[in-house]
Amino acid sequence: MSYEALVSLAVCLPLAGAVLVWLCGNTPNLREAVTLVTGGLTFLSVLLLLPQGLSGMSPELVFAAPLPGLSLSFRLEPLGMLFALIASFLWIVTSIYSIGYMRGAKEENQTRFYICFALAIAFTLGIAFSANLLTLFVFYELLTLSTYPLVTHKGNDEARRGGRVYLGVLLTTSIAFFLPAIIWTYSVTGTLDFRPGGIFGGIADSFVVGALLILFCFGVGKAALMPFHRWLPSAMVAPTPVSALLHAVAVVKAGVFTLLKITVYIFGADLLVLLEARDLMLYIAGASILLASIVAMTRDNLKARLAYSTVSQLGYITLGALLATPAGITGAAMHIAMHAFGKITLFFCAGAIYVATKKTEISQMEGLGRAMPFTMLAFLIGSLSIIGLPPTGGTWSKWYLMLGSLEAGHIALMGVLMVSSLLNIAYLLPIPIRGFFAGRNEGPSILKEAPWPCLVAMGITSAGCFVLFFFPQPLHDLAASLYGGTP
């Protein structure tokens, strides 16, 4: 199949899936089969695009021209491929998980859930493939809107409040900072295309570019840089599969992916290191990492703790992107994948615990490891990957990030990364440890695991954490081809 057809297919398949799911709404089995098949086909088409994506900047695929001189268009490049691969692969896994979770938790409006989920994936792929900032912005906003019904799925007051914060923060930042930054960039440079080496190429004074950098960093609210992180904990009112895929992978990664793309293809590493504004943003990212970790320690609700952990981990990627050294960018790109697998596993576990026992608070989970040994084991593996301990994938990305901060001469940031790892240990590891070892004398416990689809999904993602430790080479190559422009 031709390359153009494949790209369109990858984005349109989930859209078509959404329509089919809508049509099959009355027969749950068929509906979920459609979701799985669509997921499989989407992943397949992304996979077929891989050779093209790795060969550097592929030709542009224009599909609409809403503004003269600006088009909505797709173009494959390594970073986008990486993101698309992760998102489409984890969609299949999450679909398997959702089937178990949604039925187990007896959620209502499941058809709407699957429709919006498919739409969100389509828009995520749109972000991954976008060839310019305008396209990216369009899909970015569509993603916000399509995930709103998922966040407010329960439809009660709590969900509505969460949804209000979610939409409020994401729309406010994107309208108030991101959009003007895009338009300003366009009026300065006359283009919005992602180009290797950036588009500013010595035509703008450093004040304007610095201001733009700050606008972009805060404008991409999905990257959850403090103080615009509030939406992420609020989004945790959503059903767990949503938190797992969208708020640990698709949506937040869309944010940091956008930042990474902007630093690499709009500013360019050479320009970025000269900016004073960059140092400011680096320290804000560092502060975001530490503060979020500290807040995470104070949260007793498991999903809230994981959410703050995500805020902190997103700070890593932002940090790597802003370091703009080869190792920093490699680390940031790899961390997108590593954190995706680690955090989705953790969320799967949180959901599994909720479905099996209706427990949401960490303090209630003592001794849970005996009732749910498999879940707790998966949680342990996920935690290790987030902390960055071997033999899990997180080790590598942390390694490169630290290397990057050394390269850039920011010893303080290296310190931040190390302290944060310690904090990670402090807020993650006690959960499985107390799960297995605490509360022994509360009587014998019966094995009571989550539904099997949940377990399968957890198994796949935690296996992924191991695989990424032992075979990081393809991922590394993909990430390393970023700063070299064309590999």
Partner 1 sequence: MMSAIFANLPALQVILPLLFAPICFLLRKRGAAWLLAFCVSLCTFAVSIALFMQVSAAGPLSYAMGGWDPPWGIEYRVDSFNAPFLVLLSLMFCVTLAFSYKSVEKEIVQPRHALFYSAFMLCVAGLLGIVITGDAFNVFVFLEISSLSSYILISFGKDRRALTAAFQYLIMGTIGATFLLIGIGFIYMMTGTLNMADLAVRLPSVMDTHTVRAAFAFIIVGMSIKVALFPLHVWLPNAYGYAPSAASVFLAATSTKVSLYVLIRFTFTVFGAGFAFGAMPLQPILLVLAVTAVFVGSLSAIFQTNIKHVLAYSSVAQIGYMVIGFALASHAGLSAGILHMFNHAVMKGCLFLVAGCVFYRFRSARIEDFRGLGKTMPWTMGAFVVGGLGLIGMPLTAGFVSKWYLIMAALDHGFVGFLIIAAVLAGSLLAVAYVWRIVEVAYFQAPDEVHENGKEAPFILLVPAWFMALLTLYIGIDPSLVVGAAESAALSLLGSTP
Phi/psi for 360 (5° steps) reads -120, -20
* Sign of the Cα pseudo-torsion (112, 115, 119, 120, in order): positive
Give me the 53-72 binding string for partner 1, x by CB under 8 A, dash otherwise.
-----------xxxxx----
Cβ pair 358, 430 in contact under 8 A: no
Q: Any contact of residue 22 with partner 1 (CB under 8 A)?
A: no
Q: Distance from first CA to last CA of the chain, Å, rounded?
A: 25
DSSP H or E stretch at residue 412: helix 411-428
CB of residue 145 to partner 1, shortest distance in Å: 7
Q: Any contact of residue 172 with partner 1 (CB under 8 A)?
A: yes
Query: Quick one: 65 or 411, whose CB is closer to partner 1?
Result: 65
As a whole number of angstroms, the distance between CA 271 and CA 88 comes to 33
- Contact window for partner 1 (CB under 8 A) among 166-174, 190-198, 271-279, 358-366: 166-174
β-bridge mates for residue 361, sequence order: 301
Cβ pair 207, 273 in contact under 8 A: no
- Contact window for partner 1 (CB under 8 A) among 10-18, 159-167, 266-274, 393-401: 159-167
Pick from 16, 171, 456, 463 the residue near partner 1 by CB under 8 A: 171
* Sign of the Cα pseudo-torsion (164, 167, 173, 179, in order): negative
The owner of tokens 């089937």 is: 99
Pick from 25, 40, 168, 196 the residue near partner 1 by CB under 8 A: 168
Site for partner 1 in 216-235 (CB under 8 A): none
Q: Any contact of residue 184 with partner 1 (CB under 8 A)?
A: yes
- What is the biggest distance separating any 2 CA atoms in the chain, rounded to whole angstroms? 72
The per-residue b/e assignment along 377-393, b for 16 or more CB within 10 angstroms, e otherwise, is bbbbbbbbbbbbbeebb
Cβ pair 350, 306 in contact under 8 A: yes
Give me the 293-332 binding string for partner 1, x by CB under 8 A, dash otherwise.
----------------------------------------
Q: Any contact of residue 164 with partner 1 (CB under 8 A)?
A: yes
β-bridge mates for residue 61, sequence order: 74
**What is the DSSP-derived secondary structure letter of residue 480?**
H
Give me the 113-152 binding string for partner 1, x by CB under 8 A, dash otherwise.
---------------------x--xx--xx--x------x
Query: Quick one: 67 or 422, whose CB is closer to partner 1?
Result: 67
Site for partner 1 in 263-282 (CB under 8 A): none
Q: Both tokens of residue 14?
A: 């989930």
Query: Quick one: 183 or 412, whose CB is closer to partner 1?
Result: 183
- Contact window for partner 1 (CB under 8 A) among 15-23, 158-166, 385-393, 443-451: 158-166
Neighbours of 298 (CB within 10 A): 10
Query: What's the distance, CA 414 to chain centroid?
Result: 23
As a whole number of angstroms, the distance between CA 317 and CA 382 comes to 18
- Contact window for partner 1 (CB under 8 A) among 5-13, 181-189, 271-279, 331-339: 181-189
Query: Quick one: 44 or 208, whose CB is closer to partner 1?
Result: 208
Query: Quick one: 180 or 409, whose CB is closer to partner 1?
Result: 180
CB of residue 179 to partner 1, shortest distance in Å: 7
Residues that bind partner 1 (CB under 8 A): 64-68, 134, 137-138, 141-142, 145, 152, 155, 159-160, 163-164, 167-168, 171-172, 175-176, 179-180, 183-184, 186-187
